[in-house]
Amino acid sequence: MKQAYYWLAGSILAGWFGLTQAAEPLAAQQVVRHTVDQTIAELAKRRADIAADPGLLYPLIQHTVVPVFDFERITRSAMGPFWRRATLTQREQLVQAFQTLLVRSYAQTLLLYPDPNIAYLPVRISKDQQKMLAPTQVIDMQGRAIPINYRLHRHSQRGWLVYDVVIEGISLITNYRSTFKSLIRAGVGQSRDRSTRIERGIDHLIRALQAKNQPAS
């Protein structure tokens, strides 16, 4: 189930490269469509090499996904109230570890689903024009239309950035928030000092994410 989730989330993540160049939000759909087509074509051309060495896929994903995703905001939202209790160092480690986890998960599943069939639906922008919803559908191998909704916000320096992905009504942030909460609670220890306990719990979460990111031996 998680593997399918990562694929659905990742199947068009790469398409958002160049979104910040769109002059108008409604023009972003055509930018996305063009970029997705280019990404799929590039992957198809290099599929044999990437299958032999999956590491070749990571630079491509880093180039396409990372620039248009607000990983700090995603991590902060997934952490919920625990973010305020994290130190600056812990926050930096959390963002890096979570970003690596999402990128690696995408990379590991992308090769399993070549040539995804994607439908792009009309973009909707908030009244203050600071947030945008970009709905899409991915047609799976059984012919089902899977709704994928991308939530974007307008960053003051980087333009439009994705801050959440909702797949069949399940938010990426919400999905990880419960996992993070459980891992933090599992690592709080027995200290009477609440601040120390939370700090230990966050360290436990960071170690868990970093362990998950280690290549399989």
| CA–CA distance, 194 with 143 (Å, rounded to integer) | 51
Judge whether 78 and 101 are in contact, CB under 8 Å. no
d(CA 77, CA 71): 10
Q: Is the pLDDT of residue 14 over 60?
A: no
Question: What pLDDT score was predicted for residue 150?
Answer: 83
pLDDT of 195 higher than 90: no
More confident residue, 22 or 207: 207
What's the chain's average pLDDT?
78
Return the structure tokens found at 74: 């995603």
Q: Taking Cα atoms as reference points, which of 215, 18, 37 lies closest to residue 117?
A: 37
In the predicted structure, residue 74 carries a pLDDT above the cut 60: yes
Strands 131-139 and 124-125 turn out to be antiparallel
For the chain, the farthest-separated pair of C-alpha atoms sits apart, in whole angstroms, at 58
- If we measure between CA atoms, which residue out of 99, 123, 146, 142 comes closest to residue 25? 123
Mean pLDDT (whole number) for 52-70: 78
Q: Which CATH number fits domain 2-212: 3.10.450.710, 3.30.2000.10, 3.40.50.1100, 1.10.3720.10?
A: 3.10.450.710
Q: Looking at the predicted structure, is the pLDDT value of residue 91 above 80?
A: yes
Position 82 scores a pLDDT of 95
* Rounded average pLDDT over 24-35: 54
Does the pLDDT at position 194 exceed 70?
A: no
pLDDT of residue 16: 44
pLDDT in the model for residue 181: 94
For 154-167, the pLDDT digits (tens) are 888 887 788 998 88
For residues 167-176, one letter each, b for 16 or more C-beta atoms within 10 angstroms of the residue's C-beta and e for the rest, the string is beeebbbebb
Q: pTM to 2 decimals?
A: 0.79
User: For the chain, what percentages of helix, strand and coil (3-state, to nearest 5) are there?
Assistant: 60, 20, 25
At CB < 8 A and 24+ separation, what contacts does 36-43 make? 36/12, 36/118, 39/14, 39/15, 39/64, 40/115, 40/116, 43/110, 43/114
Mean pLDDT value across residues 172-181: 92
The band of 213, judged by pLDDT with boundaries at 50, 70 and 90, is confident
Q: 3-class DSSP state for residue 148?
A: strand
Question: Which of 35-49, 69-83, 118-132, 164-178 is predicted with the least confidence, judged by mean pLDDT?
Answer: 35-49
| Arithmetic mean of pLDDT, 34-62 | 73
pLDDT band at 56 (very low <50, low <70, confident <90, very high): confident
Rounded to whole angstroms, the Cα distance separating 58 from 67 reads 14
Per-domain residue ranges of the chain: 2-212
Q: Is the pLDDT of residue 147 over 50?
A: yes
